[in-house]
Structure 1
Amino acid sequence: MTVNELAARLEVAPATVSLMVGELSRKGVLARREDDADRRRTIVSIADRHQDAINEWLGYGAKAWRQALEPLTPEQRRMFVNTLLAYEQALSG
């Protein structure tokens, strides 16, 4: 994905994602490469050497979330996510 695609998916500012990608790239967790179709774009991916570990770490949770959210309509999913965001904001004061 590109930084802008990641930002949209994570619902945060592109600048925030850019900073996170930069830090994780320096640590070797993420890899960046030019898009062959558009050299102005940079594609971000999980570095090959970390792919299995990250999939193992996140895989079970992702599968469980997909199963839990699958029966919901898009509107119900949005309400659920908004509720989690409101809860997180309330915790942080």
Structure 2
Amino acid sequence: MGVDDAVRALLLLMPRMVGRVKRIKVPPQLESLALAPRHLSLLSYLLFDGPMTVNDLAARLEVAPATVSLMVGDLSRKGVLERQEDDNDRRRRIVSITASHKQAIEDWLARGAKAWQKALAPLSPTEREMFVATLRAYEEELTD
């Protein structure tokens, strides 16, 4: 497949993918929370990687700690997240998903995670790295 053929295929595929992702129903328990895409990334990290500090989340999300702190504060007020004192360092706070929202968030994000796992499983580690790098390069080009 040539580059132009690949571009044509992706120009047809990407809108369909975005449309399908947008049609994934938000669980009733989360509908009133007005979650934005930025919240999904934060919730995904906490769900798949477990509780972590605001600084750790900021590094993974590639944004300033102040930005994450604002999101965490917003979601904490809505009862989605909780901050607990770090047993090893009382100055630090560990952020986690509350037990009352964890299952709804897991159910919501699981479909996408399973789809990615199934799509990426046949690829070698090198091919997966290249795929992720390609998506990042595409996103960067759209940003510039």
Q: Which residue of 2 aligns with 1:68?
A: 119
Note the aligned Cα RMSD (angstroms).
2.2
| Bigger Rg, which one | 2
Q: Which has the larger share of strand?
A: 1
User: What TM-score comes out, normalization by structure 1 length?
Assistant: 0.76
Aligned pairs for 1:13-92 (under 5 A) are 13-70=64-121, 71-73=123-125, 76-77=127-128, 79-85=130-136, 87-88=138-139
The ranges of structure 1 where at least 4 consecutive aligned residues each deviate by more than 4 angstroms after the TM superposition are: 75-79, 85-93
Matching residue's letter, 2:115: A
**What is the alpha-carbon distance in structure 1 between the residues aligned to residue 61 and residue 124 of structure 2?**
20
Aligned residue pairs total 92
Percent of pairs identical after alignment? Answer: 67
Runs of 5+ consecutive residues of structure 1 not aligned to the other structure: none
User: What TM-score comes out, normalization by structure 2 length?
Assistant: 0.53
Q: Which residue of 2 aligns with 1:10?
A: 61
**What is the alpha-carbon distance in structure 2 between the residues aligned to residue 14 and residue 76 of structure 1?**
32
